[in-house]
A and B are shown apart, each in its own frame.
Chain A
């Protein structure tokens, strides 16, 4: 009887150890590059996204052409078939102020080191978290013409990468964590900084695929 009890206890302990090991393995956070995206819903049609560029976001570096290039190669369109995300139009708001659009890009005088930013709002118009349900959003680009680099081509490459990066956030992509893949969604401000790429890369496309 005692022997039987001991056996049962050993079996129970063994099962417990296996169970705890499995739980611990599952509890290890995933640092893989393919999981850098957020939950929550978006308010726009992600295969028909219309982006409006406000006059405040246009200057000698941040040209309308720099923004509209996002629909071409190196941008977020044509990554998958059928498309998971697609930017259908980039609208010059000074020329067409009443055009329908889903998100505005505005120029912003950031106090302190920020190059670009996305702010999302909930249904009440309150600033909300990346992981929440979004009812509206705005992209802000640093309106300084001197911060983007020392040469004209550097300034264009860096500003374009930041714009593509912010649109990536709009598609609910997060900054990769513990991941050294080249990606436009890497945290770095300028191209090359922290493996930030100039254009949308495979890693970014994989995350769109994983999220949507």
Chain B
């Protein structure tokens, strides 16, 4: 009996030590900000109980990117690759236009602008401490309690940190290069565990953007690993509504290319995002 009690106490001590350690890398100021955010998030999660998610994010044509080189140089060129944090909730607006069929104004577009504090510059002409505006196509319709999104990426929340590939729209405003191909979570231990499912060979071969019969076997290996990885991770961690919009091979290459270290960081709004995804998953399907 004594042994059981001692073992139990030991496990408890270890668990507490692990929890304490995970907070250790945050500064006091970051910790306070995070605690304040927690209160906001609780309120926002409650507000989302009644919310519906609608959008055209499965019905658009955009360029797909498969390599870092493509992202930086092809099609819409990337002007900035940065790591940073949203310093406030994004401002969103809906665009209406008269529709003859319904004989009333209907929503035709949605715009969100989020102020993003750059913490690290990986590519392009910017410096840590700069604030840029990031544009995404979504907005909240408060009349009907809906989130309307034309973008595959989840909303921009205060306190959330991301790796961004950004293309300039002028006036210090940027859109995400390739939508969900251009925004990635900071690699933490949980994400790293999922990434470890992929072999180097399978990741490499998937960069080839063509039908190559010889690579079929490795492609199939990549697809299997991809399906395994998707089972182990929540889409809210990846920042997309639909986990199939996340390119693990490209993510692995980005981490490698820019030598981005694993961080002890979890986005504070992940719980709200998970809630949004669960609403999206269960409605109208």
Contacts and interface: CB of A to CB of B under 8 A. Distances in A.
A195 to B, nearest CB: 6
Interface in A108-124: 108, 111-121
A125 B275 CA distance: 26
B43 interface: no
Given A113-B179, A136-B99, A166 B285 contact: no
Nearest to B102: A125
Interface size class of A (residues with CB under 8 A): 35 or more
- B interface, by DSSP: helix, strand, loop or mixed? mixed
B197 interface: no
Chain A CB within 10 A, most for which of B53, B58, B99, B176: B58
- A interface, by DSSP: helix, strand, loop or mixed? loop
A125 B137 contact: no
B56 A180 contact: no
A177 interface: yes
Contacts of B169: 111-112
A39 B284 CA distance: 9
Contact of B61 (A120, A128, A162, A192): A162
Contacts of B64: 187-189, 193-194
Contacts of B55: 127, 129
Interface in B143-198: 144, 146, 148, 150, 167, 169, 175-179
Interface size class of B (residues with CB under 8 A): 35 or more
B285 A121 contact: no
Contact of B284 (A111, A116, A131): A131
A126 B58 contact: no
Contacts of A131: 284-285
Interface string A138-154: 10000000000000000
A175 B144 CA distance: 29
A174 interface: yes
Interface string A30-54: 0100000011100000000000000
A70 interface: no
A113 B178 contact: yes
A128 B284 contact: yes
B106 interface: yes
A19 to B, nearest CB: 21
Contact of A178 (B62, B75, B223): B223
B56 A130 contact: yes
B209 interface: yes
A114 B60 contact: yes
A130 B61 contact: no
B27 interface: no
Contacts of A192: 209-210
Contact of B62 (A40, A113, A121, A138): A113
B179 A182 contact: no
B59 A190 contact: no
A169 B178 contact: no
B284 A129 contact: yes
B26 interface: no
Contacts of B283: 129
Interface string B211-234: 100000001000100110000000
Nearest to A122: B54
A12 to B, nearest CB: 28
Given A117-B61, A119-B150, A131-B285, 18 more contacts: A31-B223, A111-B137, A112-B136, A112-B137, A113-B62, A113-B175, A114-B137, A116-B60, A118-B59, A121-B102, A125-B106, A127-B106, A128-B284, A130-B56, A138-B108, A188-B64, A190-B63, A193-B209
14 contacts: A111-B137, A113-B176, A114-B60, A115-B60, A117-B150, A118-B59, A127-B55, A130-B58, A138-B108, A187-B61, A187-B62, A189-B62, A189-B64, A194-B209
Interface of B: 53-56, 58-64, 66, 75-76, 99, 101-102, 104, 106-109, 111, 135-137, 144, 146, 148, 150, 167, 169, 175-179, 209-211, 219, 223, 226-227, 244, 283-285
Closest 9 CB pairs of A and B: A112-B175, A125-B102, A189-B63, A117-B60, A194-B64, A118-B59, A115-B61, A116-B61, A132-B284
